[in-house]
Amino acid sequence: MRALVLILALTPARAQEEASFRKAFYRECVSALGQLDSTKEHLSFVLKHGIDLQISTSTAKIPAQAVGLYRDADKKMYINEDILDKGRRELYYRSVEDAEVPKILAWKLLPTLGHEIRHAITHEKIRRQLGFSFDMPSLEDEMISFVDTVRVLEEAIQKNPDFWLGRLSLRIDGSDSALLGAWKKNPTALKQLVEPLYPITPSVLDLTHAEFLARVDASVKERRETRAMVVKAQKLITELKDPAARAREQRLLDDSEADQTSRVDLERFERLRGVMGDPANYAKLKKFFKSQIQALIRKTAPVPQ
């Protein structure tokens, strides 16, 4: 919503330029997905399931520090507008032609797209193979996606090496060398690099059923508290006597998308608690993640150097 307000506040020419950039960026992302062996499955999945790509600044949709995020509840892949704009500004100050910027940024963010789409693929496999949804972060889910990150990154650099050199080297490339370095050692090194990035994310393979349920219960409690705060805020807005103030505060609440997001997240975690309450379902989930990680490592692990 903030992005829409920004565009509406721009001059017609500037708004048209922004819309043109986004259209070109989306087109280049789809094109790039179709050019690599490591992302052909991803493109096929996105087209089959109608997953949209959207640039957003809503922290209800994507955390402020995240480059990209797939939300299973929305069936959308979000790209952080602020981080994308920083990349655009860097390229502008380095006198890169405007027409080249969407393509360069699409390739820079392709590993992130591969990572997040892999989350979508993993979630769909769980639904199809196990018969229930698992809409909660896990270290295993992240590890599977990070394997895709490095596979896509490696192939993207081979395809367009100049995009990562000289004046086209950007701040968003900062973690690339560390990821590739760990991957070239062995998958265990990559795992050791990834795990500290998610200090509170549970491991399905490491936790007992009771320990995992405690994590789910804590997440449900947190989301109930968030939902209660949003409901209270809505009640306070309704009670405002000044129509202008009431309209202003309501607009701010609507723009934050907190009402819908808090409701959907609470419903999602309450459903998850019901599913994971069955030890048999947790055993199925453990078996699934173990087999997925083993298969992925066998298929993609590089030769130690």
Q: What pLDDT score does 112 carry?
A: 94
Closest CA to 204 of 258, 303, 262, 272: 272
Closest CA to 141 of 204, 200, 211, 80: 204
Instruction: Walk along the chain (305 residues) and give the pLDDT tens digit of each residue.
Output: 444 444 445 567 777 888 899 999 999 999 999 999 999 999 999 999 999 999 988 777 788 888 999 988 788 899 999 999 999 999 999 999 999 999 999 999 999 999 999 999 999 999 999 999 998 899 999 999 999 999 999 999 999 999 999 899 888 888 888 888 888 888 788 888 889 999 999 999 999 999 999 999 999 999 999 999 999 999 999 999 999 999 999 988 887 778 888 898 899 999 999 999 999 999 999 999 999 988 877 765 554 44
DSSP letter for each residue of 122-155: HHHHHHHHHSS---S--HHHHHHHHHHHHHHHHH
- Measured CA to CA, the distance from residue 33 to residue 49 in angstroms comes to 15
Query: Which of the 8 DSSP states describes residue 304?
Result: P
pTM across the whole model: 0.86
Q: In what order do the strands lie in the sheet with 76-80?
A: 52-56, 76-80, 68-71
Q: Whats the size of the chain, residue-wise? A: 305
**What counts of helices (H) and strands (E) characterise the chain?**
13, 3
Query: Which of the 8 DSSP states describes residue 278?
Result: S
Burial of 210 (0-12, 13-18, 19+ CB in 10 A): exposed
Closest CA to 68 of 105, 100, 24, 20: 105
